[in-house]
Structure 1
Amino acid sequence: MPTVRKIAHEFLERRGLTTIFGNPGSNELPFLADLPASFTYVLGLHEGVVVGMADGYAQATGRPALVNLHAAAGSGNAMGALTNAVYSRSPLVLTAGQQVRSAIGLEAMLANVDATSLMRPLAGWSGEPSCPGDVPRSLAQAVFEAELRRRPTYLSVPYDDWSAEIDDNPVLDRAVRRGLSPDAAQLDDLARRLAAARNPVLVLGGDIDALGLFDRAVAFAEHFALPVWVAPSPHRLPFPNRHPLFRGVLPAGIGSVSSRLDGHDLILVLGAPVFRYHQHVPGPFLPDGAALVQVTDDPGEAARAPMGESLVAAAGPVLDGLLARLPAREAGETAFAPTPEPATGERALHPEQVFAALRETQPADTAYVVESTSTNSAWWRQMDLRRPGSYFWPAAGGLGFGMPAAVGVAMGLPGRPVVGVIGDGSANYGITALWTAAHYRVPVTFVILRNGTYGALRWFADLLGTTDVPGTEIPGLDFTAIAAGYGVPATTVSDVDDLRAQLKTAPAGPRLIQVDTEPTTP
C-alpha cells in the first residue's frame, strides 16, 4: 500500500505545486523525504522571508504556492509576512510539522498545542488531520480553500503520519472550480446606471492586475472615457500610471478619498475594498450626491463596506458585460502624460533622481517590487508603468516583504527583469533573502535607498504631533558589506551618471546597488 507521503506528493504534483518554499525543522523532515525529481525546494533562512518569497512567487505566477514551516515557533515567525499575503489575497498553502500524535497532549518539545488556532484569524482556513488516513483529504482541502478564498491556508500534520500506509485515495482525482458570473439583469442595471450618470468615475484595485484583467480594464476605461483612480495603498498597479485617463492613487484617509472624488455622481469600484484606510482623516465616506457600486469576488469585502452597494461577482465578466452593453464615448486626450523633471538633492540624490534613472535605463517590461514608504510621491511622479505585473507592494504595510518578494517574483517570472526598490529601514527585515538569491542565482537587482532614517515614521510623527520620539534614526548601515557576506555582488553609487551606468548592465544573478538619498515624505 502507498504511504501518506507518496499520495500527498502525487496530489501536489498533479496540482502543479512542485515548488516548495521552506525553512525546515525536525518535524518537517518526514514530509520532505523522497521528494520526486519534479519538485524544487527553495530554502530561506527565516520563516518571514520564506513566506515573502512565496507571496511574490504566487502573485507573479497567479497560482498557489506551497510553504513548509516548522511547528509553532517557525509558524509564529512567519506571521508578520503572512499579513501581507492575506491582503494581497495570495493563495499560499502553508504546511507545518507537528509532534507525533502521542506527544501532542503531553506538550512535548516542538508540539503545536493548538495548531488550528495559531494562524487565525490570518489564515482563511486551518486544520489538522484527525488521523493519518485523513491527511490527503486535509491537504486537498488546504489547497482548494486557498484557491477558492484567494487567501493563505494552514495545515499542521503530525510527523508520524507521513510514513503510515493507507489505501489508494480518491482525492487524487478531485477538482474544484470557482465561478462568480453576474446575471444579465445585474449587468443591465449597472450599464443603465453608468449610461445615466452625469460624471461617473472608475476606481480600480490591485485585484484587477492580480486576476490578469489589466488590459481589459484599460479597454473598458477607454471605451467609456472614464477617469480612473487607483484605490488607496495598492499592492498592484491595475492601470498605466501615465495614461491620459489616470488621475492618481487615492489617499488612504476617509475625508481625503471623499474630497478627491468630489463632483462625481457615480463611483464604480472594481477589484478593491471600499476602502482600505490608513491615517485617520475624518470626513464623509462619499461626497455629496455620489453613489458607489463595488464589484468584488470577496464576500467579506462586500459585507464590511461602510457605504454603497456591492455586487459579489468576478470582475472579468462584469468588464466584458459592460463593454458589450455600453456605447463608446469620445475619449478626448489620448497622449500619455510626460514625466516631470526630477527634483534634485542637496547633500545626496533625491529619490526622484533614482526613479528617473530606473525609468530611463530599465526595459519597459520590468517588474518592480517596491518597499520604500517615504518615497511614494516621488515614485509616482517619475515612473511610467504600462504593463501588467509591473508593480508589487506590501499589501498590509508589513515590513520585510520587499527583498524576499523580489526573489519570489523573479523566480515566478523567468526572463523578465525584476528590480527590488527597498528602503534601508525595510531591507533589514528581509535581509536573509540575499542568501537565497545568491544560492539559486536569481537574476534580481536590489536598489537600496539609504537615508539613515525611518522616513515614514518621521512623517507620521509630524502628522500626530509627536516629533520628539526616539527610534527613528538608523545610521551606519553598509548594505554592500552585508550583501558580500551573503554572496551577492554589491556596489555603492553617489551620482546619477554612475547609477545609470550600473543599471544599464544586465545581471546574470543577483546584485545590490546602494544609493544614498535625501529623506523625503510619503
Structure 2
Amino acid sequence: MTTVRDETFQVLRRFGTTTIFANPGSTEIAFLTGLPDDIGFRLALHEGSVVGMATGWATARGGPAFVNLHTTAGLANAAGALATARTNRVPLVVVVGQQDRRHLAHDPFLAGRLEGLVGDYPVWTDQPVRPQDVPAAIARAHHEAVTAAGPAIVVVPMDDWEKPAEPRRGAAALEVRRPMPSTLDGLGDLAASLDAARSPAIVVGAGADDESCWAALVALAERLGAPVWQESFGARAGFPQDHPSFAGHLPPGRSGVRTALADHDVVLVVGAPVLRQYTWEPGDFVPDGTTVLQITQYADEAHYSAADVAVIAEPAHVCRRLAERVVPREVSPAPRRTPDAEPEPGEPLRPAHVFDLLAKQLPRDTILIEESPSSRPELHRRVPARVPLGFVSAAAGGLGFGLPAAIGLKLGAPRRPVVAVLGDGSSLYGIQGLWSAAHYHVGVLFIVLANGGYAVMDRLAERSGLGKAPWPAFTEVRTSTIAAGLGCPARHITTHEELTEVLGDVLPSLAGRTSPLLLDIEVAPDASYG
C-alpha cells in the first residue's frame, strides 16, 4: 500500500527538497521515524534555529527548503524566523504537525489552534480536508513559496501519514512555470527618462543579488556614469561593492537620503523598496524635483513604494535591456576610501579593527552573514561584498537569524567560505545553533563582537534624551564558554595580535573547513551606530 507519507516523499524528491530541517515533537513521529535513505534530516535545538538554518540553505541554493515544526509550540517559537524569511523573500515549505484527526473535535492535549498563529507572514496556509489531499497541498505550498517568495504552511494531523494515498494526476503532479517576458511595455519610457536626466543615480537592493543582475547593473551604471547606492537595511547586496561606481549605503532616514541624493534628478531603484526607512523623519523621501523610477519583481514592493513609475518585472532582464538602449556618458566615478583602523598601544579593540582585518584577509567568494546592529554601518564601510551572495542579513530586523542562517548557508553552499559577524547579544537569540554546526561538521567561522550589552539600544536611549535606560549590561556572559558546552570549538580573543594570528591561520582554508569555530572577541562598549 502506498501511504500519504510515501506520496509526500515523492513530491519532495520531484522538487529536490529532500533535506528536512526540524525540531520534532510527538505529532511528527509518524512522519519522521524510519526515513528513506535519500531523505536527509538536520536537527536544531530550537525552532528559531530550525527555520534560520532552512532560510540560509534556501538562500544559498536559490530554491525552497523543507521545514517540519511541532504543532502550536513549534510554530509559535518559529514566528520571528518565519517573519524574517518572508521579509527576506526566501521560499520555505513548512509542514506543521497537528493532533490526531480522529479526536480533534474533543480538543485533546497538544491540539494546535494554528490558523493565524503567525499572522500574515506565511504567503499561504492550508490544512487539507482529507489525508489523501496532503501531498497535493505540499506541492501547492512549494508553488506558493516560490511564486510569492516566502514561507507556505501546511498543517498535517499526525495520523494522516499512515493513511492510503490516492495516486492520481492533478495538483500533486503539477509543474507550474512562469515564462520570462520577451518584450516589456514602457522600457522606452524608462530609457528616455534616464537619457534626459542631468545626473542619474541608481539604488540597488536584495532583489538584484544574482550574477546576471550584477552584470546588467554594472553595464548600466558604467554606461550612465551613475553612482550606485545600496538600500539601507537590505538583506543582500545588489551590486559589487568594490566597483568604482559603488557610492555606499543609503542612510536609514529621510534627511540623510535627501542629502545623499541631492545632486541627482533621476533615481532608478532596482530590486529594492522606495525607500525603506527606520525612524520617522519629516519631509519627502528624495529632494524636490527628483524623479524616482523603480524596477522590482515583487508587486507588493511596488505598491508600498514612493516611486513615480514602478515596473514589475525581473530586474536583470530590464537592466540588461536598458543598458543596451541608453546613451553612453563620459563620467568618471569619484574614488572612495575608508581609512584603515589599527588600535593604538593600550587602546581596546573596536569593530573597525576587526573589520579591517577581515577586509584584508577574507577570500573573495566569502559569504558574510551580519547580525551586529551597533556595528553594521562600520561593517558596510569597511568590508565590501564582492560577489553575489557575498552579504546576507535579516531584512525584518529581528535577532536570532544570523547564527543559524550561517549554518544553513554553508550546508547549501559547501564550497564557499562562510563567516558570521554577530553581536554577543544577537548571538544569544540563536546560540543553540552551535550544536547543529558542531554535530553536522559545518565549517562556519562565527565572529562574536562582545561588548557586554545591547550597544545599539544604549546608543538609541542616549539619543532619545528621555533618561537612563533600565536594562543592565551583561559583561559576565562569555559566548566562548557557551559554545564549548554545545560542542563547538571556541576562543576568547582580547588583543589585535591574537586576532591577527587566528584569522591568518583560519581564513585561507575556511572554504574546506569541516569544523565550526567561534571567536569571542572583546570590543569596546562605546561602538558607534547610525
| TM range, smaller chain | over 0.9
Match of 1:521 among 516, 520, 528: 528
| Structure 1 equivalent of residue 164 of structure 2 | 165
Q: Single out whichever of 493-502 and 203-212 deviates more from structure 2.
A: 203-212
| Structure 2 equivalent of residue 361 of structure 1 | 361
Change in CA separation of 1:299 and 1:385 when aligned onto 2, cut-off 3 Å: closer
Percent identity for Structure 1 against Structure 2: 39
Please tell me whether residue 85 in structure 1 is matched to residue 85 in structure 2: yes
Once the two structures are TM-superposed, the CA of residue 466 in structure 1 deviates from its matched residue by: 2.9
User: Residues 62-81 of structure 1: matches in 2 within 5 Å?
Assistant: 62-81=62-81
Once the two structures are TM-superposed, the CA of residue 105 in structure 1 deviates from its matched residue by: 2.5
**TM-score scaled by length of structure 2:** 0.94
Change in CA separation of 1:180 and 1:470 when aligned onto 2, cut-off 3 Å: farther
| Structure 2 equivalent of residue 8 of structure 1 | 8
Once the two structures are TM-superposed, the CA of residue 416 in structure 1 deviates from its matched residue by: 0.9
Once the two structures are TM-superposed, the CA of residue 94 in structure 1 deviates from its matched residue by: 1.0
| Structure 2 equivalent of residue 20 of structure 1 | 20
Counterpart-to-counterpart distance in 2, 1:435 and 1:264: 50
Once the two structures are TM-superposed, the CA of residue 308 in structure 1 deviates from its matched residue by: 2.1
User: Residues 157-306 of structure 1: matches in 2 within 5 Å?
Assistant: 157-170=156-169, 171-179=171-179, 181=181, 183-209=183-209, 213-306=213-306
Once the two structures are TM-superposed, the CA of residue 328 in structure 1 deviates from its matched residue by: 2.9
1:30–1:162 CA contact under 8 A, matched in 2: yes
Once the two structures are TM-superposed, the CA of residue 343 in structure 1 deviates from its matched residue by: 5.5
Once the two structures are TM-superposed, the CA of residue 186 in structure 1 deviates from its matched residue by: 1.3
Counterpart-to-counterpart distance in 1, 2:39 and 2:218: 38
1:25-54 residue CA offsets vs partner (Å, 9 max, x unmatched)? 111121223432222111000000111111
Q: Single out whichever of 41-50 and 510-519 deviates more from structure 2.
A: 510-519
Please tell me whether residue 508 in structure 1 is matched to residue 514 in structure 2: yes
Counterpart-to-counterpart distance in 2, 1:43 and 1:219: 44
Counterpart-to-counterpart distance in 2, 1:174 and 1:80: 32
4+ long deviations beyond 3 Å: 179-185, 336-339, 343-347
User: Residues 78-117 of structure 1: matches in 2 within 5 Å?
Assistant: 78-113=78-113, 115-117=114-116
Structure 2 counterpart of 1:208, one-letter code: A
Once the two structures are TM-superposed, the CA of residue 265 in structure 1 deviates from its matched residue by: 1.2
- The residue matched to 1:218 in structure 2 has which SS? helix
1:142–1:153 CA contact under 8 A, matched in 2: yes
1:46-93 residue CA offsets vs partner (Å, 9 max, x unmatched)? 000111111111111111111110001110000011121111100011
User: Residues 93-492 of structure 1: matches in 2 within 5 Å?
Assistant: 93-113=93-113, 115-170=114-169, 171-179=171-179, 181=181, 183-209=183-209, 213-333=213-333, 337-342=336-341, 344=343, 347-492=347-492
Structure 2 counterpart of 1:185, one-letter code: D
1:357–1:496 CA contact under 8 A, matched in 2: no
Instruction: Please list every run of 5 or more consecutive structure 1 residues that lacks an aligned counterpart in the other structure.
Output: none
1:371–1:421 CA contact under 8 A, matched in 2: yes
Once the two structures are TM-superposed, the CA of residue 338 in structure 1 deviates from its matched residue by: 4.5
Change in CA separation of 1:508 and 1:3 when aligned onto 2, cut-off 3 Å: closer
- The residue matched to 1:118 in structure 2 has which SS? coil
User: Residues 43-54 of structure 1: matches in 2 within 5 Å?
Assistant: 43-54=43-54
Structure 2 counterpart of 1:521, one-letter code: S
Change in CA separation of 1:103 and 1:348 when aligned onto 2, cut-off 3 Å: farther
2:370–2:376 CA contact under 8 A, matched in 1: no
- The residue matched to 2:160 in structure 1 has which SS? coil
1:227–1:246 CA contact under 8 A, matched in 2: yes
- The residue matched to 1:195 in structure 2 has which SS? helix
Once the two structures are TM-superposed, the CA of residue 243 in structure 1 deviates from its matched residue by: 2.2
Change in CA separation of 1:33 and 1:320 when aligned onto 2, cut-off 3 Å: same
1:82-136 residue CA offsets vs partner (Å, 9 max, x unmatched)? 12111110001111111111322222111112x2322321111111101112111
Q: Single out whichever of 436-445 and 292-301 deviates more from structure 2.
A: 292-301
Counterpart-to-counterpart distance in 1, 2:77 and 2:28: 16
2:258–2:285 CA contact under 8 A, matched in 1: yes
Counterpart-to-counterpart distance in 2, 1:43 and 1:33: 13
Counterpart-to-counterpart distance in 2, 1:60 and 1:161: 32
- The residue matched to 2:429 in structure 1 has which SS? helix
Counterpart-to-counterpart distance in 1, 2:494 and 2:215: 38
Counterpart-to-counterpart distance in 1, 2:118 and 2:182: 33
Counterpart-to-counterpart distance in 2, 1:135 and 1:229: 45
Structure 1 counterpart of 2:125, one-letter code: S
| Structure 2 equivalent of residue 37 of structure 1 | 37
Instruction: Please list every run of 5 or more consecutive structure 2 residues that lacks an aligned counterpart in the other structure.
Output: none
Once the two structures are TM-superposed, the CA of residue 8 in structure 1 deviates from its matched residue by: 0.6
1:285–1:307 CA contact under 8 A, matched in 2: no
Counterpart-to-counterpart distance in 2, 1:265 and 1:468: 43
Counterpart-to-counterpart distance in 1, 2:182 and 2:258: 28
Once the two structures are TM-superposed, the CA of residue 326 in structure 1 deviates from its matched residue by: 1.9
- The residue matched to 2:36 in structure 1 has which SS? coil
